[in-house]
Structure 1
Amino acid sequence: MATNPLKFIQQVRSEVAKVHWPNRREVMVTTAMVFVMAALTSVFFFLVDLVIRLGLTTILGLSS
């Protein structure tokens, strides 16, 4: 089904008008939340890696 390019542009503008654009505060808060969650995730996986490494070295007797 072919759509008229002018009608398509009108539909795009209509849909863009429905979008909730975040304000500066919302952007800053969500950006900070992303950085905090990334930091917490990296610390969690560091600790899990540390525990697994210590467990394996203990089990395999590779510690000197």
Structure 2
Amino acid sequence: MAKLDPALFVREVRQEVARVTWPSRKETLITTGLVLALSAAAAVFFLVVDQIIAYAMRMLFGVGG
């Protein structure tokens, strides 16, 4: 079994982090806004679909919210 060397581990982690291409503040804000907008759109879509299904159940079977 290999001996664990914490100093070597930290050096390797720092090297890997230095290779990462980090997004700019503008890119981060744009993608965050898109995620929030698409999440809201999905929520509205599923709300509408749920209401349509509930209405159909009420009309067909007289049950449902």
Query: TM class, shorter-chain normalised?
Result: 0.7 to 0.9
Letter in 1 for 2:8: K
What's the counterpart of residue 41 of structure 1?
Answer: 42
Q: Give unpaired runs (5+ residues) of structure 1.
A: none
Query: What root-mean-square deviation, in Å, do the aligned CA atoms of Structure 1 and Structure 2 show?
Result: 1.2
The runs of at least 4 consecutive aligned structure 1 residues that moved more than 2 Å come to none
> Helix, strand or coil for the counterpart of 1:20?
coil
After the TM superposition, which residues 40-59 of structure 1 pair with which residues of structure 2 at under 5 Å, given as runs? 40-59=41-60
What's the counterpart of residue 23 of structure 1?
Answer: 24
Following TM superposition, by how much is the alpha carbon of 1:23 offset from its aligned partner in structure 2, in angstroms? 0.8
Size of the alignment, in residue pairs? 62
TM-score, normalised to structure 2, is 0.86
Distance 1:61 1:11 in 2: 65
Identity %: 37
Q: Which has the higher contact order (CA 8 A, sep 6+)?
A: 2
> Helix, strand or coil for the counterpart of 1:34?
helix
TM-score, normalised to structure 1, is 0.87
> Helix, strand or coil for the counterpart of 2:23?
coil
Following TM superposition, by how much is the alpha carbon of 1:19 offset from its aligned partner in structure 2, in angstroms? 1.1
Distance 1:27 1:20 in 2: 13
